[in-house]
Amino acid sequence: MIAPTLDPVAVQAVLTTAAVSGLLALKHYLADFVLQTNAMARGKERAQGWLVPLCAHGLCHAGITLAIALALAPRLWWLALLDLAIHLAIDRAKAVIAHRGRWPMSDPRFWWLMGFDQFLHQSTNVGLAAAFVLA
């Protein structure tokens, strides 16, 4: 049996996409779970006084995205601003829906909302990865 020949350009594209996607997933982990303080996590969920904690949290994401952009493709620095805007919108929408639902952690709807929030963030990362790879 003859082994299939792999196109080196296609292999490079797949490996680059995987590496950038992994880097953005790591960015999300760091910004959402390591760098996010208790004050940010609780503050951004409040009905009032949420703006400063939410912006501080969003700036963690944007700062790491900016570092990635400057390392990979400096002309794409503006993706950090896009990431900031999208992250703020997703997190605020989640907080508003959670307030309206008033679901305790024991309610499956709480976890559906949490999961959908994470799905939207990772979908954002897929779009960012595509922008980096196609640039």
Q: Locate 126 and state its tokens.
A: 């897929």
For the cut 90, the answer to whether the pLDDT of residue 46 exceeds it is yes
pLDDT at 1: 67
pLDDT in tens, 54-98: 999 999 999 999 999 999 999 999 999 999 999 999 999 999 999
DSSP code of residue 105: T
Backbone angles phi, psi at 5, to 5 degrees: -90, 130
Mean pLDDT over residues 41-50, rounded?
Answer: 95
Global model pTM greater than 0.95:
no
Q: Which residue has the tokens 């929408």?
A: 93
Domain boundaries, the chain: 36-134
pLDDT at 83: 98
Give the whole-angstrom CA distance, residue 76 versus residue 50: 29
Q: How does residue 48 score in pLDDT terms, banded at 50, 70 and 90?
A: very high
Give the whole-angstrom CA distance, residue 56 versus residue 49: 13
CA angle in degrees (0–180, nearest 5) for 28-61-103:
65
